[in-house]
């Protein structure tokens, strides 16, 4: 029996449902985002970060927003976020 996959909005809601981390200063968040998305891997490649690290450093909702603002793809698997840093099609093969 096949079940329907959750829509992107359902997935985003679930992923963003954790409380934002306490006391992240805006300048720290901007510095973190600049570091992540200016890395060589982010130039058409893949960036991987631990979910707990994202939660602690910037907050899950902000991270999801920033990935979406760049039109990148975000995958959450296990305890890892994987950002595919291009806006072309992505196919999960198995």
Q: Where are the beta strands (DSSP E) in the chain?
A: 46-50, 73-77, 80-84
Question: What's the whole-model pTM score?
Answer: 0.71
Q: Tens of pLDDT along 1-12?
A: 444 555 555 555
- Would residue 64 count as lying in a domain? yes
What Rg value do the Cα atoms of the chain yield, rounded? 14
Distances (CA, A) of 12 to 27, 28, 31, 66, 75: 25, 24, 24, 12, 11
- Would residue 6 count as lying in a domain? no
- Would residue 18 count as lying in a domain? no
- Would residue 51 count as lying in a domain? yes
**Does residue 81 surpass a pLDDT of 50?**
yes
The helix (run of H) or strand (run of E) holding residue 93 is none
- Would residue 16 count as lying in a domain? no
Stretch 17-28: mean pLDDT: 65
Stretch 33-60: mean pLDDT: 89
Stretch 71-87: mean pLDDT: 95
**pLDDT the model gives residue 5:** 52
Stretch 17-42: mean pLDDT: 76
**pLDDT the model gives residue 90:** 92
């Amino acid at each position: 029996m096949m079940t329907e996959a959750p829509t992107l909005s359902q997935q985003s809601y679930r992923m963003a449902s954790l409380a934002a981390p306490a006391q992240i200063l805006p300048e720290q968040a901007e510095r973190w985002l600049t570091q992540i998305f200016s890395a060589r891997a982010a130039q058409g490649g893949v960036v991987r970060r631990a979910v707990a690290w994202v939660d602690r450093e910037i907050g899950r909702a902000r991270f999801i927003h920033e990935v979406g603002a760049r039109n990148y793809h975000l995958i959450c698997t296990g305890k890892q976020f994987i950002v595919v840093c291009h806006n072309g099609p992505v196919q999960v093969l198995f």
